[in-house]
Amino acid sequence: MTWLEPILLTIVTASTPLLLAALGELICERAGVLNLGVEGMMIIGAVCGFAVAHTTGSMSLGVIAAVVCSMIMSLLFGFLTLHLLCNQVATGLALTILGLGLSGLIGESFIGEPGHKLPQLELPFLSELPYVGRLLFAQDALVYISILGVILVSFVLFRTRLGLIIRATGDNHRSAHALGYSVRKVRYGAVLFGGACSGLAGAYLSLAYTPQWTEGMTAGRGWIALALVVFASWRPLRLLLGAYLFGAVSVLQFHAQAYGIALPSQLMSSLPYIVTIFVLVIISGNKQLTKINTPACLGKPFRPDR
Amino acid sequence: MRKIIAMISAACAAFALNMTSVLPSQAKEPLKVGFVYVGPISDHGWSYQHDQARIEVEKYFGDKIKTSFIESVSKSSDAERAIERLARSGYELIFATSFSHMNPTIKVARKFPRVKFETATGYKLTKNVAPYGGRFYEGRFVIGQLAAKVSKTGVAGYIAPFAIPEVIRGMNAFVLGARTVNPDFQIKPVWVNSWYDPGREADAAKALIDQGVDIMVQHTDSPAPLQVAQERGIKGFGQASDMSRFAPDAQITAIVDYWGAYYKRRIQAVLDGNWKAENTWGGFNQDMVHMAPVKNVNAELVALAKDTQKKISDGKIVIFKGPLKRQDGTVFLKDGEVATDKQLLEMNFFLEGMKAPLPN
């Protein structure tokens, strides 16, 4: 058990940014908006979080800044796709390119500056439990937020009226509109939520995972998050499972290598994507499954004409 | 709408190339020296070190030269345009600082026979293209010795990007250095399949420390592994630039790419009119590899590092010298035989006695 604990702790840190970003994208896609700009929003979150935390010395201000800046990015996306009805795929890609470039500009003066790490919040008594104590109850705030977020999103999505409205908007925006719901408002909300989550994921990278700012530090994690949403077939609990699975694969392959087991590391690096393709094949092979899970209006623009 | 998107993306693409403005030539005609970087100058690694050297030579030569640079030129189609643009606007000496710039440079060089080109880590030599590089493996021999002195377990964690000769040669040199102290010294390599991914590098470092290594070496570019070493209380070595700010108690030293001296020599040669296209692969002896100040160890080791560096520089220590066998037991160098540069540049095997397998 003692050797297992550090491995599991590493898996938690590797999985949390994926989970946070994917959670936001899940709500976004459930409402019918495909935002491919996760990577761009995430890196803006990372740089703004680091910049503010480094300048003010306050970690909480850093996290808040990360969330706000990523939300501004997502607002831009929302305006372009929901108001001007731009193509969502193209706009999302542009958002990623913009984010990567802009973050380099913002972060220029912070290169080579060592950062501080988010403190671990140890819950009294619980963190002293044998075996699981430190693992479950001595993490930093963002890890707790990511787990609670999954539960909250799952509850809201399937147990509340708001969740029903979000799903209706994503499944059939004409009907939702006819029923009197503002498709645009719901989607703005979902897009902003997606931005906020990406911001948290970015903040986790630059303030907890590797406390530093370096250009391109997201290194494709936004894309893995996007793949995860499909992998989870748009269900939050499966998302939790998937994020930890992807995190575990990437960490365990290093352990295997260090242990002397020769694994083709290139294959391991591409595993999340291969698994996603595999899941896609399974989903689309079964019409029933496709109907139940995929938001039917995903990526389709909506123009309220009345 | 589609048209607007197309226009925006075209504008983005143009912007992404990041062309710095190239000023028209002045009346006084200082020598114009151009630099092309593969990454952003803020990468704090490869391109950053080249730009530091550019700033150094600009200060050194004053108004005798004028420099400018184009950064983030990673695609070879972009490289050709960037290099040609410099050549066209009167730059007489152009340093293209990435392996991926070699072929574009050769192409442009044919069109501009009077312009002098240099390509870092390249190997093609023509009338006006000179390849150059650093023998960074010499630094790895030095840190190998230090690692073996510091490590109690006799095993170093080694975070490696790709199984290419440059990296493998470094690992072999490291082990040869370590074996001068501890003949049984081993490395535990972890291949992260990236030159630069702070997250993965940190995960790899954690995995290695969890498995009991007590010294960390990296050939990847981010300071993340050293940060982990600092956090977990073990020692390690920086890569490409001095990373001690990230790990004040953990970094013993770092192998620093130093281009300033070489650039000074080459620019001086152009100014004196005796520049010649030749292949340069220099180490300590040509002042192309530096070691960051040795810290966090006792005075004996500081002296050892200095001494080894001097001996390598003077040729008293030859790192790859026979008898040496490959991992599979076949002979690489016979007794007393010294590896040729060609053998070093093509090295794709571990040496005998190393337990870790080489991927593929």
| Segment 38-67 of chain B within 8 Å of chain A by CB | 40, 42-44
CB within 8 Å: B227 and A3: no
Mean pLDDT, chain A, rounded, equals: 90
Q: pLDDT of B189-247, one tens digit each?
A: 999 988 888 899 999 999 999 988 999 999 998 889 999 999 999 999 999 889 998 99
Choose the mutation target among A2, A16, A205, A214 for the interface with B, i.e. most B CBs under 10 Å. Answer: A214
* B153 at A interface, C-beta within 8 A: no
**At A137, which CATH number?**
1.10.3470.10
CB within 8 Å: B198 and A219: yes
| B42 contacts on A by Cβ (under 8 Å) | 104, 107-108, 111, 215
The whole-number pLDDT of residue A220 equals: 87
Q: Where are the domains of chain B?
A: 16-134, 137-256+291-345
Beta-strand ranges (E) seen in chain B are 31-36, 65-70, 93-96, 116-120, 129-134, 155-160, 186-191, 215-218, 235-240, 251-257, 280-282, 289-291, 324-325, 331-333
* A6 at B interface, C-beta within 8 A: yes
CB within 8 Å: B356 and A260: yes
The backbone torsions φ and ψ at residue B175, rounded to the nearest 5 degrees and listed phi first, read -65, -40
Checking if the pLDDT of A151 tops 60, the result is: yes
Q: pLDDT of A183-234, one tens digit each?
A: 999 999 999 999 999 999 999 999 999 999 988 889 889 999 998 998 888 9
Q: Which domain holds residue A69?
A: 12-117+133-222
CB within 8 Å: A269 and B193: yes
Q: Chain A closest CA to B81's CA: distance in Å?
A: 21
Q: Chain B closest CA to A178's CA: distance in Å?
A: 27
Structure-block tokens of residue B114: 């009077």
Choose the mutation target among A96, A254, A255, A271 for the interface with B, i.e. most B CBs under 10 Å. Answer: A254
Q: pLDDT of B149-182, one tens digit each?
A: 999 999 999 999 988 899 999 999 999 999 999 9
Checking if the pLDDT of A306 tops 70, the result is: no
Checking if the pLDDT of B25 tops 50, the result is: no
Nearest one of A237, A298, A218, A277 to A44, comparing CA atoms: A218
CB within 8 Å: B198 and A104: no
| B43 contacts on A by Cβ (under 8 Å) | 111, 214-215
Architecture of domain B16-134: 3-Layer(aba) Sandwich (3.40)
Residue of A nearest to B354 (CA): A260
* CATH number for the domain formed by residue range(s) B137-256+291-345: 3.40.50.2300
Chains A, B: CB contacts within 8 A come to 127
Q: pLDDT of B75-120, one tens digit each?
A: 778 899 999 999 999 999 999 999 889 999 999 999 999 999 999 9
Residue of A nearest to B248 (CA): A114
Residue of A nearest to B158 (CA): A258
CB within 8 Å: A112 and B207: no
What is the ipTM, given to two decimal places?
A: 0.83
CA distances from A59 to A143, B117, B329 (A): 15, 48, 55
CB within 8 Å: B246 and A254: no
| A94 contacts on B by Cβ (under 8 Å) | 5, 8-9, 12
Number of domains comprising chain A: 1
Q: pLDDT of B260-302, one tens digit each?
A: 999 999 999 999 999 999 999 999 999 999 999 999 999 999 9
Paired strand residues for B215:
B235
* B356 at A interface, C-beta within 8 A: yes
CA distances from A231 to A14, A190, A225, A239 (A): 18, 20, 10, 8
* B159 at A interface, C-beta within 8 A: no
| Centroid of chain to Cα B282 | 12
A102 in a structural domain: yes
Checking if the pLDDT of B11 tops 70, the result is: no
Residue A239 pLDDT class (50, 70, 90 cuts): very high
* A94 at B interface, C-beta within 8 A: yes
The whole-number pLDDT of residue A162 equals: 96
Checking if the pLDDT of B15 tops 80, the result is: no
* B8 at A interface, C-beta within 8 A: yes
| Segment 17-56 of chain A within 8 Å of chain B by CB | 17
> Concatenated DSSP letters for chain A?
-TTHHHHHHHHHHHHHHHHHHHHHHHHHHHTT---TTHHHHHHHHHHHHHHHHHHH--HHHHHHHHHHHHHHHHHHHHIIIIIS---HHHHHHHHHHHHHHHHHHHHGGGTT----PPPEEEPTTGGGSTTTHHHHHEEEHHHHHHHHHHHHHHHHHHHSHHHHHHHHHHH-HHHHHHTT--HHHHHHHHHHHHHHHHHHHHHHIIIIIS-S--TTTTTTHHHHHHHHHHHTTT-HHHHHHHHHHHHHHHHHHHHHHHHT----HHHHHHHHHHHHHHHHHHHHH-HHHHHHHS-TTTT-------
A233 in a structural domain: no
A186-190, A294-298, B8-12, B259-263: the lowest-pLDDT one: B8-12
Residue B40 pLDDT class (50, 70, 90 cuts): confident
CB within 8 Å: A214 and B44: yes
Residue B360 pLDDT class (50, 70, 90 cuts): low
Checking if the pLDDT of B8 tops 50, the result is: yes
Nearest one of B351, B353, B301 to B137, comparing CA atoms: B351
The whole-number pLDDT of residue B27 equals: 47
User: What percent of chain A has a predicted confidence (pLDDT) above 70?
Assistant: 98
| Segment 100-139 of chain A within 8 Å of chain B by CB | 101, 104, 107-108, 111-114, 117
The whole-number pLDDT of residue B24 equals: 46
A258 in a structural domain: no
CB within 8 Å: B246 and A215: no
Checking if the pLDDT of B22 tops 60, the result is: no
Checking if the pLDDT of B16 tops 50, the result is: no
| A108 contacts on B by Cβ (under 8 Å) | 42
| Segment 242-301 of chain A within 8 Å of chain B by CB | 250-251, 254-255, 257-260, 262, 264-266, 269
Q: pLDDT of A108-147, one tens digit each?
A: 888 878 888 888 887 777 777 777 777 777 789 999 999 9
Q: What is the pTM of this model?
A: 0.84
Bridging pattern class, strands B31-36 and B65-70: parallel
CA distance A174 to A172: 6
